[in-house]
Homo-oligomer: A and B are copies of this chain.
Amino acid sequence: MRLTTQTDYALRMLMFLAINEGNQTIDDIATAYGISKNHLMKVAQRLAAAGLIDSQRGRGGGLSLSSAPEDINVGHVVRLMEETSKFVECQTGAANSCVITPACGLVHILSDALELFLSHLDRFALSDIIKNRKGLEKIFSFSG
């Protein structure tokens, strides 16, 4: 049980863009975190498609937040990036899914637990997780 790399990188990208205003490139973000540019490109496409970031092409272009950090909800980002509907095999609807699904008492308990997890994240905005702005700026200035 672990957050997917896509979600992890999406949150890191949003945090980077919240701290570093103006257009930023995928290269900047990949260098700052020491992570894969290819993965970040896919993440950027999904965040842009969801309207969370703006992507401008050409000279002087790059990525920026579409909204203020106060208006970007952490739970929303995690729900967007994770396939929370596929938390256990029986939820995937796969043909070879677990045989006991029709009589299993676990399915709803797991769904409720997952909803508690996500509801907690719904209580926070991007601005809440970058409160240590000075600390983050310092780290980015060294790693950039």
Nearest chain B CB to A102's CB is how many angstroms away?
7
Question: Given the interface contacts A109-B124, A117-B113, does A2 sit within 8 Å of B3 by beta carbon?
Answer: no
- Counting every copy of the chain, the complex holds 2
Tell me if A74 is interfacial: C-beta within 8 Å of chain B: yes
Closest to A135 in B: B103
Inter-chain contacts of A100 with B (CB < 8 A): 12, 15, 33, 136, 139-140
Inter-chain contacts of A96 with B (CB < 8 A): 34
Chain A positions within 8 Å of B, measured between CB atoms, are: 1-4, 7-8, 11-12, 15, 32-34, 74, 82-84, 86-89, 96, 98-100, 102-106, 109-110, 112-114, 116-121, 124, 128-132, 135-136, 138-140, 143
